[in-house]
Structure 1
Amino acid sequence: MSSFTTPVFITPCQHLSIFSAVGADTRAFLQSQLTQDVSLISPSQAAMAGFCTAQGRLWATMLLTPTDQEQQIHGVIAADLMESLLKRLRMFVLRSKVTLGPVPDLQVLGIEVAAADFDVLSSTLEVTLPGAIWQAQMTSCGTWIQVPSANENCRLRLLALTTARQAEQIVDQLGENGKVLTDVNAWKAQDVQAGMAWVEASTQDLFIAQTLNLDLIGGVSFTKGCYPGQEVIARAHYRGTVKRRMHVATIVSPTEVEMKAGMDVFDASDPDNPVGRLINVANTVTKTDEGPVTIWVLFEAPFKSIETASLRVGSSEGPLLTMQPMPYDIAPT
């Protein structure tokens, strides 16, 4: 058996939770509510999606995943949205034959493996793993989905939806080749670097899908039928009026500073009017006794602000945002 070149990192993603939609009308119901074409979800395919208000603002972003039941779909969401999301979705069930609820018996693991070790990981776990982004694979040790990486030529990322026993099985089979990380910020930072946003409780009902680049990572279908907020999202798409996008940046500070999703972003030359907001924050990614704290953030702002401004968080004199490259093109068309 081939050996691993580097450890496989395993991160329990306690900031994410799983809900279930099950019943004869599951697909039709979700198709009528979400930005994604739910017919794409299959035993080998997962996809991002959004759930919007009638005004087109995102109530939640989610990763839709298959299960071993044709009439059931799972959704991975920010954990602090579970109660509000299910309450709002249930308002629209009416006579549809679908039951919505949390799945407390499943957890989400973030798995990071060197690209060169991908086949070794599959053989070690004795399963077939998804070989492309958004592909899914149901295995004896959970449902696995490959998710974007900032640099997929070096490291690949997978989410595994597992029971506690399956999680133990993964750790046991990897042995000394696996390293369990207790700090989820490293995984969050990779979501940031990959341009993969999660709506949280503090950013609920603030952004349209295009603002969070959901359309650029395949989370919006412009050919499916209607859903709440569809007119707003379609109008921005077809009229080319997307003037705000999500961007990646770092904040470097000599001491730890508290950054939270939803905080305002200011142009230093205009202290009275915020130009954007933080979307996701990975708070304590890099810290040494000698070096500074580095915080990775996703934030949204108009293109014109990105081109001309010195952007700061919290106030016009707050921590400076240093722009970082996006892993995909966000240039206005």
Structure 2
Amino acid sequence: MNDWIRHLETQGLVRAAENEWHFGEAVSQARVPLSSTAIAPLPQYSIMEIAGPDAERFLQGQTSAQVALADGQFAPLTAFCSPKGRVLANGQLMRVDETRYWLVLDIGVADPLHTHLAKYAPFYKVEITQPATRIFGVLGDDAVAQVEAQLNVTAPDTWAMAQNDAAVILRHPGPIPRFMILAPEDAALSAWEALESLATPVGNAVWRLQDIQAGLAWLGETQRDSYLPQMINWEALGGISFRKGCYTGQEVVARAHFRGQVKKRLLRAQSENATLPAPGTPVHDANGKSQGDVVCAALNADGKAEVLAIITQRDEPRELNIDGVPLERLTLPYAIERVDPESMSLQA
């Protein structure tokens, strides 16, 4: 057992399942007030490093981001696609030094993406690795002040990054301020210890709920190679550059955008049931016909399941349910329209 896990277990960490950690009973965790600060381990994510003299050129041909925008301040969302335009992995790209990039993504797609990119890497001076890092979140009304005081950085804006001597700090959207901290294990443990006397430890499902409420879907292993990036509203979040040149899948992604051929979209909804549907659970209409699938789910403070699901756009509106339990549609916090990352980077 390593020091990171050992220390979290002394604080009451329970590993309910693989990549599902909480501190105490799950419903109680969902009700922890975030009026001050909470800290959450985030084992659902992984880091991939792409480094070498050709790293930028290599990534430019593989990913939906305009890689030059990842400049050490702005950290754009991105997607890696198959030749048919389906998302193999979506994540956030950051430049951590001149020829070294980090990509944060769902842990379930890290190995398959590594295998996919390794097919192209021999043609470039580049090395792809998965560095030994720990990731945790800081969230709550006082998160900005605590990050600045304890990590000695100026808190970045949303989709921007900051660095200190040991860690990378990313800010993500949501109903409350929240930051993702990425660092080697010793540095991550030191940062956690600096914050733990000022914050309440919570489970990673609390962070997942913030993702859901932000309309932010991270595709996992069972969902890879299934959806166009627009189906997870990636262009509305600035995750696709339509101003860059070719990358794998670019033609299909661009055609879907300019011809308006996106047949499925991300839906945010709430179930009256406290039972969490697993990723891939079908969403049905009142006639029992499948209309889409669940991407992720988490309990909210009322003990109800909030979900993101990818749903067909035909025959709107209609009643939807999961296993017979009705879904109440909830509003997404952004408009479904193209947002160019080039314009976002000017604000970072």
Q: TM-score, normalised by structure 1?
A: 0.86
Partner of 1:209: 229
Partner of 1:221: 241
Partner of 2:321: 312
The AA in structure 2 aligned to 1:172 is: E
Give matches, 1:228-239, under 5 Å: 228-239=248-259
The alignment status of 1:129 with 2:155, answered yes or no, reads yes
Partner of 1:197: 217
CA-to-partner distance for each residue in 1:142-195, whole Å, 9 max, x for gaps? 10111111x3xxx211111122222232233335322222x2111101101101
Deviation at 1:102, TM superposition (A): 0.9
Supply the distance in 2 between the matched residues of 1:185 and 1:81 (Cα, whole angstroms): 19
The alignment status of 1:180 with 2:201, answered yes or no, reads yes
CA-to-partner distance for each residue in 1:94-116, whole Å, 9 max, x for gaps? 32111111112x111111131x6
Aligned equivalent of 2:167, options 117, 121, 142: 142
The AA in structure 1 aligned to 2:138 is: I
Aligned equivalent of 2:296, options 259, 277, 280: 280
Partner of 1:302: 312
Supply the distance in 1 between the matched residues of 2:253 and 2:136 (Cα, whole angstroms): 32
| Residues 150, 191 of structure 2: 8 Å contact kept | no
| Residues 90, 100 of structure 1: 8 Å contact kept | yes
| Residues 127, 140 of structure 1: 8 Å contact kept | no
Partner of 1:112: 139
Structure 2: any 5+ residue segments left out of the alignment? 1-33, 339-348
Q: CA RMSD in A?
A: 2.0
| Residues 46, 64 of structure 1: 8 Å contact kept | yes
Supply the distance in 2 between the matched residues of 1:209 and 1:170 (Cα, whole angstroms): 34
CA-to-partner distance for each residue in 1:291-330, whole Å, 9 max, x for gaps? xx4112111113344x32111225xxx2222111100012
Supply the distance in 2 between the matched residues of 1:190 and 1:50 (Cα, whole angstroms): 21
Aligned equivalent of 1:19, options 45, 48, 58: 48
Q: SS of the counterpart of 2:321?
A: strand
Supply the distance in 1 between the matched residues of 2:230 and 2:114 (Cα, whole angstroms): 23
Q: TM-score, normalised by structure 2?
A: 0.82
The AA in structure 2 aligned to 1:191 is: D
Number of aligned residues: 305
- Percent identity reads 28
| Residues 151, 164 of structure 2: 8 Å contact kept | no
Partner of 1:47: 76
Supply the distance in 2 between the matched residues of 1:231 and 1:171 (Cα, whole angstroms): 44
Aligned equivalent of 1:327, options 319, 327, 333: 333
The AA in structure 2 aligned to 1:74 is: W
